[in-house]
Structure 1
């Protein structure tokens, strides 16, 4: 960005040059990124920016903005830079300790809400990460309660911020545990109505094909199973049968092209009513089923 005096830099000028800069760096949606970063620096909403286009930007704010633009040009995710994202219309804290919640995971969450609306389910969220699923379910199912587990204490620290942010500490309990380990699964006790999980399902072979924002900044262990992409589904297919609760529903997110293989893994005698739910692009995204007594 060229050097000018602070009085010459109007917000409109800043945004125009910032957008062009990010576009030259091959950042997707450069204008949107430029606006959100500037709104973050100024403490305004994006709508406020449009109302203040003719206003000059202070020199210290311009310097701070340039630093954030440089980070975004280096492909650091926008959500990490501003420390926040939106999931299910709820603001959530995020940083490099956790996976950035995706629209695909909203399909998983909405499926649970649709099925359990008006009821008060007890939920187990395996691999909670930022807590996005547990927080959203507790918010939109007011009578529900959730146990949200993760093997990573750093991830739980972020989840705790989000639970507290939305005033859900009495209904969302966070615990450090590995949801694939027999000792934990056998320790689960009633009541339990719903198990949800968005496991790492990117294969090691596919990892290098991911965008730099993902590959270079997001926690690999939250995305990649270091195998064929089905490792955690195999563990879960076996593990759900170990939970000493006779019946409960489960909802699992799946990657593109995995539906047939995942459905086959869960086609056991202790599972009934398997159903695949598609996302808005008609991609099979969620496997839903019921664990039943054998």
Structure 2
């Protein structure tokens, strides 16, 4: 990256936008059409400039002619170099938006995606209607976006987050403290908990965004994903269904025995029917209803199961 100084905020924004468009080779948006790629690069340039300067977007856009301080220039150049090397934007800034809130993220936890907001939306709606003071378990909590959001949206609920990764759980606990969410944490193997190991007490609602990428497909993901995000949060086994198979195989005995209960699971593209079949074909789940919800692109993204009252 050249050392030519940027005189103003506008100079920096234009240069970084152009540079990222040409050099952020690991970004998932590099496969988009040119116009969309330009927009994505501009959005990332703005995000990095806001982060480096501490200014709001309005302050930056109305102050493009303002002189760029040396400290901001230095921080921005370092951030752009990291992004050009493939590091995800969210790891550089240390935060990611989710459900109208900003969450801390860093290497060691999965970066939250917009698709997961649908999962939370459906889980929250069920909880408010059927079990507003029920017990919820977020299995494989990662950065805690699911557990923290549910706890804040339904404050009467008792929300647990379980994850095998100490790094991820530390980030989730930090997010809960910072956002004031009364989440309870349990470190452990979620699949072992399903088989009866120590962990949270039986929930009324189980929510999870598990690993669902088939192992052989990991290498084909964008470098900013496969080279940086934790493999254990992505790898769903040979067919991508290992976690769902384990959950279905554990049977409904994992849930609180009385009253309505439900599960909400995020699934990969084209997996919904296979995931529902794992439950429907197991006689122990007789009496439960299963279905799937599409995301904004029409992809069946959330599989749900419900035991009526």
Q: TM-score range by the shorter chain?
A: over 0.9
* 1:9 correspondence with 2:20: no
Count the aligned residue pairs.
289
Match of 1:130 among 129, 132, 143: 143
Whether 2:172 is the aligned partner of 1:140: answer no
- How does 1:140-289 map onto structure 2 within 5 Å? 140-168=153-181, 171-181=182-192, 185=196, 187=198, 192-243=203-254, 245-246=256-257, 248-267=261-280, 268-271=282-285, 272-289=288-305
Q: Is residue 18 of structure 2 the alignment partner of residue 20 of structure 1?
A: yes
Q: 1:178 touches 1:184 (CA, 8 Å); kept in 2?
A: no
Alignment CA distance shift 1:182-1:30 (3 Å): closer
**TM-score after normalising by structure 2:** 0.88
| Structure 1 length-normalised TM | 0.92
1-structure distance, mates of 2:144, 2:240:
22
Superposed CA RMSD in Å reads: 2.0
Q: Does the CA contact (< 8 Å) of 2:204 and 2:256 recur in 1?
A: no
Distance in structure 1 (CA, Å) of the matches to 2:202 and 2:4: 64
CA–CA distance in structure 1, aligned partners of residues 218 and 89 of structure 2: 20
Distance 2:71 2:111 in 1: 29
1: distance between equivalents of 2:187 and 2:199?
14
Cα distance 1:183–1:127, how it changes in 2: closer, same or farther (>3 A)?
Answer: closer
Q: 1:152 to 1:103 in 2, by over 3 A?
A: same
On the 8 A contact 1:76/1:217 being kept in 2, the answer is yes
CA distance in 1, matches of 2:272, 2:19: 40
Structure 1 unaligned residues grouped into runs of 5+: none
Shift of 1:22: 0.5
Alignment partners' CA distance in 2, 1:251 and 1:73: 37
CA distance in 2, matches of 1:245, 1:206: 36
Q: Which has the higher helix share?
A: 2
Q: CA deviation at 1:241?
A: 3.0
- Structure 1 residue 101: deviation in Å? 0.7
Conserved 8 A contact 1:187-1:243: no
